[in-house]
A = this chain, B = another copy of it.
């Protein structure tokens, strides 16, 4: 704390101490009164902002704050994004190996597609890392190219789950008209041998992602599938109803899907 901070803290302490002296004197944590100082430091704020959005504390949000674009860029291109994803996959696999595969072909795992199996980072590099309002037209053009690479950690999980005997379902917010390019991209990125690719049909348009994905999970459960695990970068991939036994939230500080 600089001397100005000390002075401010001291004045506030003195004022507050008159009514709450015991509490404030015994506080082992620094006073909250200088909390605003954190927001003057971008890195510290952005670190906390990342916690906030990854814990769904922010609720619906639309763009990465201007002051955090550099932070998100460094995170997405650096070791932390990879490390976070790899450690999550380690835990997912540790859990998957405890599942008693029945052999009836009804042991299932659900993956989301965008930022879960496929990385749209090449698109977001050219669109401000989530600092621009989502532009459906240019994103659909990118999807149409079918050139999104595999997320390395998820590719490892996907491959090992298949080997363990899980049936893999892909449940994406993409629409039916994108089935061909999505399937082409998945094949190209190495995601083969999945059971089913589920996309939004006409009757799903306008539904929240949480409702749409919950309904589709419910159908799988009604068909007798045991949904042991679910992997997604959005809470709307994982929550709602008919949830998986275990959910694995992957990082995504670039955008939010309600």
Contact = CB atoms under 8 A, between A and B. Distances in A.
Contacts of A49: 87
Contact of A247 (B56, B122, B248): B56
Contact of A38 (B79, B156, B251): B79
Contact of A32 (B59, B88, B153): B153
Contacts of A27: 149-150, 152
Contact of A87 (B32, B52, B188): B52
A144 to B, nearest CB: 17
A17 interface: no
Contacts of A249: 55-57
Size bracket, chain A contacts: 35 or more
Given A35-B153, A48-B80, A152-B31, A188 B59 contact: no
Nearest to A44: B83
A171 interface: no
Interface of A: 20, 22-23, 26-32, 35, 38-39, 44-45, 47-49, 51-52, 54-59, 79-80, 82-84, 86-88, 90-92, 95, 119, 121-122, 147, 149-153, 155-156, 188-190, 246-249, 251
